[in-house]
A and B are shown apart, each in its own frame.
Chain A
Amino acid sequence: MAKITTLSDAVRDLIHDGDIVAMEGFTHLIPFAAGHEIIRQRKRDLTLIRMTPDIIYDQLIGAGCARKLIFSWGGNPGVGSLHRLRDAVEKQWPSPLAIEEHSHADLANAYVAGASNLPFAVMRGYAGCELPKYNETIKTIDCPFTGERLAAVPAIRPDVTVIHAQMADRKGNVLLWGILGVQKEAVLAAQRSIVTVEEIVDDLEAWPNACILPSWVVNCVCEVPHGATPSYAHGYYQRDNVFYRAWDEISRDRDRFTAWIQRHIIETKDFSAYERVLAG
């Protein structure tokens, strides 16, 4: 059964230096509050997995938490580059960052394989694409029935998956809706999981086919209102596009980025304190 706890305790107890960590949310429900807490607790040498690294991993990479990134599309959506990711790849700042690059279809399939307790995923893809030349985990396999050559990629099995959802009940059953991305698969593929939620309620009032993560597949549930901002939580608040654009300037310069992290994350005690600083 999931333990209902503070985010600070969940990150302290479940995420260790050197862990393989997946923090998913496809533009929607990105677990920013949890990302901040990882920075605040100065976790190091993490292998970070995420289809779209987004600002959340730009912050973690620039703050020196990561030694490796596994990803499939690394931009600031609708804005441009992730400058901290680029600086780490192009100039090894603040430290060298190993990258392992895939396509979206590949990582989505690899999460399904992880959730299914299979060693690898099979898909039709990568023919003619040069990524397999630079990523030795992408291999091919001949279909034993038709002989068709298909791509094979290893299952993703994170030590910890972190996601954000709209609701949990008091037992720790989690409900999410809207754009679901790979969150369910990422939680089921992981050894441990943390779910931050907008609110904890008495009754989820979920319809039969709703996307529910039962309490017994989640380790920790933490109530963190606005915990996905500047991304959005369907039914709660919209994407903060102004922040995404502002990040382009903040993250472009190492000193400005470092000062921002110091003031907004290191020197705040939690996400609500961060939001107060941000509001000025």
Chain B
Amino acid sequence: MNELNYTTDEMMTVTASRTLRNGAVCFVGIGLPSTAANLARLTHAPEVVLIYESGPIGSKPHVLPLSIGDGDLAETADTVVSTPEIFRYWLQGGRVDVGFLGAAQLDRYANINTTVIGDYWKPKVRLPGAGGAPEISSSAKEVLIIVKQSARTFVEKLDFLTSVGHLRGGDSRQQAGLPGRGPVAVITDLCVMEPDAQTKELHVTRLHPGVTQDDVRKATGWEIKFSAECGTTEVPTASELTTLRDLQHRTSVAHGRTSAGK
């Protein structure tokens, strides 16, 4: 806790939730994206439609899911379809406005690695892998990424490219034939980054209160650029914080643990 009485994680989650507009159809990854998307649903975006890759469409879970296929997601959904249908009719069909993803590694063009650290065949760390992310990042009309920032995560070169952001920058994503526009924002516990309109390289457009440019540089593995009009993120409101903490409290009671939302 700092003097403003919120944590950097809360700052990140609240900021990410605010970027999700009311009424958007959002394909949600588990963990941080799911926390932010549900916070949005419980605050400014009651009409947001949450889709999970296990099949639920229009989920309104009472607590944050621990797994992508929790029963609460199905029970509170408008409908539950099969996994092939989710990927074929709903995602590939072009019905998803926003793909909301996390990352293990991310580069300057917001490409994501969730597969492996080190060599693919002789990995230092074997990560879970692709899941639904490659096609979410490809087919959703736009993508939001929420990830805690460190130089280990924000790297000069990915060990593996799992899900395409802006590929090699410029119009390379479009040239490669990916239908969606790609990442529009990366929200971290330090700042908000957006791709440059031309080069598509990420640059910092807002710093969270109390964070310096130097803090961000130290937590980035490439020479990060800052927007000329780089502003400061608005602090979380009391109501946003209360809603988030209530949600996390309900979740920890339901799952018997404290960190299900992360």
**What residues of chain A have their CB less than 8 Å away from a CB belonging to chain B?**
26-28, 51-52, 71-75, 77-78, 81, 85-86, 89-90, 101-105, 108-109, 111-112, 123-131, 134, 148-149, 178-182, 184-185, 232, 234, 238-239, 241-242, 244-245
Within the assembled complex, what's the spacing in Å between the Cα atoms of A239 and B120? 33
Within the assembled complex, what's the spacing in Å between the Cα atoms of A234 and B255? 17
**What residues of chain B have their CB less than 8 Å away from a CB belonging to chain A?**
30, 53-56, 65-71, 73-75, 80-84, 86-88, 91-92, 111, 115, 120-121, 123, 126-135, 138-139, 160-164, 167, 173, 176-179, 255-257, 260
CB nearest neighbor in A for B259 = A78
Q: Which of A77, A108, A244 contacts B68, CB < 8 Å?
A: A77
Interface centre among B131, B160, B173 (most CB of A within 10 A): B131
Q: Is the CB of B82 within 8 A of A182?
A: yes
The total number of A-B Cβ pairs within 8 Å is 174
**Set of chain A residues within 8 Å of B84, measured between Cβ atoms:** 108-109, 111-112, 182, 185
Q: Is the CB of A26 within 8 A of B135?
A: no
Q: Is the CB of B260 within 8 A of A108?
A: no
**Set of chain B residues within 8 Å of A242, measured between Cβ atoms:** 256
Q: A72-B131, A128-B178 are in contact. Are A78 and B71 (CB under 8 A)?
A: no
In the complex, what's the smallest C-beta–C-beta distance from B145 to chain A, in angstroms? 16
**Set of chain B residues within 8 Å of A73, measured between Cβ atoms:** 128-132
Within the assembled complex, what's the spacing in Å between the Cα atoms of A125 and B176? 11
Q: Is the CB of A71 within 8 A of B257?
A: no
- Where chain B touches its partner, the secondary structure class is loop
Within the assembled complex, what's the spacing in Å between the Cα atoms of A125 and B70? 26
In the complex, what's the smallest C-beta–C-beta distance from A136 to chain B, in angstroms? 13
Q: Is the CB of A105 within 8 A of B73?
A: no
**Set of chain A residues within 8 Å of B129, measured between Cβ atoms:** 71-75, 101
Within the assembled complex, what's the spacing in Å between the Cα atoms of A244 and B173? 39
In the complex, what's the smallest C-beta–C-beta distance from B182 to chain A, in angstroms? 10
Q: Which of A27, A75, A86, A112 contacts B54, CB < 8 Å?
A: A27
Q: Is the CB of A184 within 8 A of B70?
A: no
Nearest 9 pairs between A and B by C-beta? A27-B69, A75-B128, A77-B67, A78-B66, A128-B164, A73-B131, A105-B87, A105-B135, A103-B130
CB nearest neighbor in B for A73 = B131
Q: Is the CB of B74 within 8 A of A179?
A: yes
Q: Is the CB of A127 within 8 A of B177?
A: yes
Q: Is the CB of B257 within 8 A of A245?
A: yes
**Set of chain B residues within 8 Å of A27, measured between Cβ atoms:** 54, 67-70
**Set of chain B residues within 8 Å of A74, measured between Cβ atoms:** 126, 128-129
**Set of chain B residues within 8 Å of A127, measured between Cβ atoms:** 138, 164, 176-178
